[in-house]
Structure 1
Amino acid sequence: MLRFAPSPTGDMHIGNLRVALFNHILSKQLKEDLIIRIEDTDKERNIEGKDKEILEMLSLFNIEYKIAHYQSDNLKYHQKMAMQLLMQKKAFACFCSDERLEMQRENAKDSGKPYRYDSFCEKLTDDEVINNESGFTIRIKKPEHNIKCTDELRGEFDYNPFDVDSFIIMRKDKTPTYNFACAVDDMLYDISLVIRGEDHLSNTPKQKHIRESLGYTKEIKYLHLPIILNAQTGKKMSKRDNASSVKWLIEEGFLPIAIANYLVLLGSKTPKEIFTIEEAIEWFDIKNISTNAPKFDIDKLRFINKEHLKIIDEMRLSKILGFADEDIGKLAKIYLEEASTIKEIKTKLDAIFGTKHTSEDYVSEVEHIKKCAQNAPFFDSYDDFKNYISTQCGLKGKSLFMPLRFCLTGAWHGPNLSDIYPYIKNYLGEIIK
C-alpha cells in the first residue's frame, strides 16, 4: 500500500503534485493500492475547503486512489497508542511550560548547539506525575540505540539517539503531533512504501522509532524526492512563486497532461521528452531520479505545453476553449506559432469573436469592409471572399489587407488570413459586427 498525504493548509504545490504523480505511477507498477490521507490534525493551519480542492486536483490529473480518509478520524487510535507507550514507560508526561522550553532553545542557540530536550520530566516519579494538575504533553523517550534508515535514492542513514531526541508525540489538547500521527497511520493502513519530499528526511528516524516502540516490525521503504528550485533564484520554490501553485498553472492555461509530463521529466532520465502518465507507467524507473535538486523552468513547461497542444484532439481542444466545433480546435492550433497556453489562445479567439475597437488607422476602410462583409454572400474560398470585398469596397493592397485582417481577427498582425478563413467562414456573421 502506498499513500499520498497532503495537508489542507494551502494550494497544492508543484512539489506535492510531483509526489502524488510518483505515488500513482509506482502504485500501478507495483500493483499496489494508493490511498489519500488528508493530514488535518493541525487545526489552526487548516483552510476550509482546501481538502476538497486537493481531491478535485487529483481527479483533474487522473491520479487514481482506493480511498481518501482524514487523519483526524484516527484520533482514538493515536490516543490509544500514546497511552500504550505511557503504560510501557516508553513515553512520559511533560509538564514543561512553553516559556521554559523557549528559554532552553534560546540558550542552545546562544551556545551554538542544537536544541535538545533536557529530560527534566522524564525523571519525575509516579507520585509527582499523578499529583501534578497542570496540562501536559506526551514525549516519547529517545531511543537507546542508533536508528538506521534506508532511502531508495540516497542509500543508508544512521541516526544516533541525540539526533532523534525525546520529542513530543501528543499535544496538551491530546491531539497527535505530525510524526506520531504519520507513524501510527502508516501502521494502521499497512503502508509498504512512502514517497515524499526530502524535507521530511529528518522525520523518518522519528517515525521509525515510534513504530519500533509500539512493537511494529514491518519494514517500510522510503524514497525522498529532492526539493524543486526556482530556476531564476536558485532557491526553493515558495508560496511567493506563482508557478509553485498548481492552481495558478491551470488558471494560466497549462494542460494537466503537460504539467504532469514536466514534473515527471524534471530531474529524471526518460526515454522520451513528450509523454503521458499512462506511457510513463510502462517504462518509468524511480531510481533514475537525480538526487540533485531540479530547477523549475516555466519556459520549458511552455514548450512541453505547446507540444501537447499540437497533438491534442481538435474537438477536445475546442471544448476546452468553450466551443464544440472541430474547426475552432484547428483554428487554435494555427495560433500555436505565437501562443503556448490555453489562456494565450483564448486571448486570440476573444479578439476574433469579441468587439473590435479600431485605432486611428484605417477607420474608414474598416467601416466600409464591415458593411460589405455583412451584406456578402457565403464564400467557401478565402480568395473568392477577398476578391468580393476588394471589388465592392474598391480597396487594394495594404488598404485592403490590413483593415480586412483587423475585421476578421481583431489584430493587425498574425497568421495568414488564407489559413484562418477556412475555420471562421461559418462564423462571419458573429465575427464581423
Structure 2
Amino acid sequence: MSIITRFAPSPTGRLHVGNARTALFCALFAKANGGQFMLRLDDTDVERSTEAFAQGIIDDLAWLGLPYDLTAKQSDRFASYDAAFNKLKEMGLVYACYETPDELDLKRKRQRARGKPPVYDRAALELSDDEKAKLESEGRSPHWRFKLSGNKVNWQDLVRGDQLVDTSSLSDPVLVRADGTYLYTLPSVVDDLDFNITHIIRGEDHVTNSAAQIELIIALAGAGGDIPVFAHHPLLVMADGSALSKRLGSLSLESLREDGIDPMSINSLIARLGTPDPVEAHTEMAPIVAGFDLTRLGRAPARFDPAELQRLNVKLLQSLPYEKVADKLSSLGINCDDTQTGTFFWETVKGNIDKLEDAVALWQIIQGPVESLIDPEDRDYLDTAMNCLPIEPWDETSWSQWTTELKQSSGRKGKELFMPLRKALTGQAHGPEMQNLLLLIGPTHVKNRLKG
C-alpha cells in the first residue's frame, strides 16, 4: 500500500507555527515511508477564502522546504460532494433541520442548565411533512445533518493509542448549511476517499470528528472500505501554557520570515517539540526525516517558546558555510569580490549576528562611510597609531604587529590600547575581531578613519 498523507488548510489566513507543524508531520511521515504528500485547500468557505491566502500557503510550504506531490482545491469538486450528499439522502442518513442558530444556542444553554451535555436532540426527525412545508413557507431553509449510528467507534491512533468514541454522546454533524454550502466534514471525507488518503495526521482537537468521519466513510464506501489510519498529535501552546491563538499574528510564517528566522530553524524545532528527543539545529531535512517518529510524541501539549526558536536560529545561522548564505547576502546588497573574500567576511561576522539581515550593518562598517568615535584625549594616540601602521600589503599578522608596536610607542595596554582603535575604525565599541576587520576595511579606509 502506497502511503498518502494530506495537509488540508483553509485559505482564510496565513500559516502559523501550529499548522506548519501539522504540515511538517504529514510531509515527514510520507517522506520517511516512501509515500506521497498532498496539499488540499479546503476553500468551501467562499466568503472567507481568498486566492491571496491560498497562494500564501503555497509560498509558505515552499519556503519551509515541504514540496507536495499532489494538490486539489475543494472549490473545484462540488459535483463530487453533491453526488455523495445525494447518496446519503437516498440511504436515509441525512435529515433536514430548521432551527435557527439562536434557537440551537438556546437549546444548548437549557441542556447545560440541567447538567446535560449540549447534544442535538434530533427534534427535526419528529417533524411531519406538513410542519416542514409550513417552516419553509415562513422562509426557513433547512440545514442537513448526518444521522450517527449511536454505536461506539474504535480505532488505533498512531499517537493516542486505542481510541473509543460513543457516537450517542455526539451531536449529529451538520453537513450542509441552510444556504446550501458545505461544512468541513463531508467534503473532507469525500476527498480522503477519492484521493486514497491512507493516513490522516492532524491536531487532537479533531479526535471526536474522527468518529463521525469514520461513520461517513463506512456509509459512502461500504463496510469493506479502507478507513485511513489516524494520528492526532497534541497541540502547540505557548511556553507559559497559554493558547497559541493569542499570538498567531507574530507567529505566522510570514512574520517569522520577515524577522529573519531561517525555515530550517522552524523545522528543526517543531519536528521535535513534544518528544523526548533533543532539539538540534539542522541545515538539511534528511536528519529530521530520519529521526521522525510519531510514536515519540507525548500526550501533553507541546510548548513553543519564541526565544528558543531565536536561539536555535542563531545557532543554525552561525553553522552555515558562506556558500549557503552567499545568494541571500547578495540580495541584501552584500556583494563580495570573490568567494575567498566572501568566506572571510562571513567567518568574521557570523558570530556577531542573530539574523542574516544583521550582516548589513557590519558590511556598512567595512564599506563605509563610518562616523568614527574619537575621544579628544585619544587624538594624539591615534596620530601615533597612524605612524605605526604596518607595511602593506597587510595579512593576518598585521593587527598583532600594529598593536605590538603601538603598545611600545604609547605605553598603553589592554582596553586603553585597543578600544580607541576599534571606535575610530568601526564607530562601535563592540563587534567582530579587529584582526579580521582590519583586513576587510583596508588601508585606505583605515587611514581616513584614524584622521577622523
Q: TM-score range by the shorter chain?
A: 0.7 to 0.9
- Counterparts of residues 330-409 of structure 1 (less than 5 Å): 330-353=344-367, 355-357=369-371, 361=375, 365=379, 379-381=393-395, 384=398, 401-409=418-426
Name segments (4+ residues, structure 1) moved above 6 Å: 385-391
Matching residue's letter, 1:84:
K
Q: How many residues align?
A: 428
Partner of residue 256 from structure 1, selected from 237, 240, 263: 263
- What's 1:214 paired with? 220
Unpaired segments of 5 or more residues in structure 1? Answer: none
- Quickly say closer, same or farther: Cα 1:300–1:144, change in 2 above 3 A: closer
- Quickly say closer, same or farther: Cα 1:361–1:71, change in 2 above 3 A: farther
Matching residue's letter, 1:417:
M
Instruction: Check conservation: 1:40, 1:71, Cα contact below 8 A.
Output: yes
- What's 2:244 paired with? 237
Report the 3-state secondary structure (helix = DSSP H, G, I; strand = E; otherwise coil) of the residue aligned with 2:245.
coil
How many angstroms apart in 2 are the aligned matches of 1:243 and 1:352? 33
- What's 1:185 paired with? 191
- What's 1:89 paired with? 92
Matching residue's letter, 1:141:
K
State the identity as a percent.
25
- What's 1:292 paired with? 300
- Counterparts of residues 63-102 of structure 1 (less than 5 Å): 63-102=66-105
- What's 1:419 paired with? 436
Q: Does 1:58 align with 2:72?
A: no
TM-score calculated relative to the size of structure 2: 0.82
- What's 1:45 paired with? 48
- What's 2:201 paired with? 195
Report the 3-state secondary structure (helix = DSSP H, G, I; strand = E; otherwise coil) of the residue aligned with 2:77.
helix
How many angstroms apart in 1 are the aligned matches of 2:115 and 2:360? 57
How many angstroms apart in 2 are the aligned matches of 1:66 and 1:90? 35
How many angstroms apart in 2 are the aligned matches of 1:85 and 1:241? 38
Instruction: Check conservation: 1:315, 1:324, Cα contact below 8 A.
Output: no
Instruction: Check conservation: 2:81, 2:187, Cα contact below 8 A.
Output: yes
Range moving further from structure 2, 248-257 or 130-139: 130-139
Aligned-pair CA distance for 1:123: 2.1
- What's 1:173 paired with? 179
Range moving further from structure 2, 278-287 or 216-225: 278-287
Range moving further from structure 2, 376-385 or 33-42: 376-385
- Quickly say closer, same or farther: Cα 1:399–1:356, change in 2 above 3 A: farther
Partner of residue 301 from structure 1, selected from 309, 318, 322: 309
How many angstroms apart in 1 are the aligned matches of 2:201 and 2:41? 15
Partner of residue 143 from structure 1, selected from 143, 149, 170: 149
How many angstroms apart in 1 are the aligned matches of 2:14 and 2:230? 25
Q: Does 1:27 align with 2:18?
A: no
Matching residue's letter, 1:123:
E
- What's 1:279 paired with? 287
Aligned-pair CA distance for 1:12: 1.0
Report the 3-state secondary structure (helix = DSSP H, G, I; strand = E; otherwise coil) of the residue aligned with 1:265.
coil
- Counterparts of residues 310-325 of structure 1 (less than 5 Å): 310-321=318-329, 322=332, 323-325=334-336
Unpaired segments of 5 or more residues in structure 2? Answer: none
CA deviations on 1:290-330 (whole Å, 9 max, x unpaired) are 22222112333233223322332213323323234343454
- Quickly say closer, same or farther: Cα 1:109–1:347, change in 2 above 3 A: farther
- What's 1:267 paired with? 274
Alignment RMSD (CA, Å): 3.5
CA deviations on 1:7-58 (whole Å, 9 max, x unpaired) are 2222211121111112111111222211101111123333551111111111
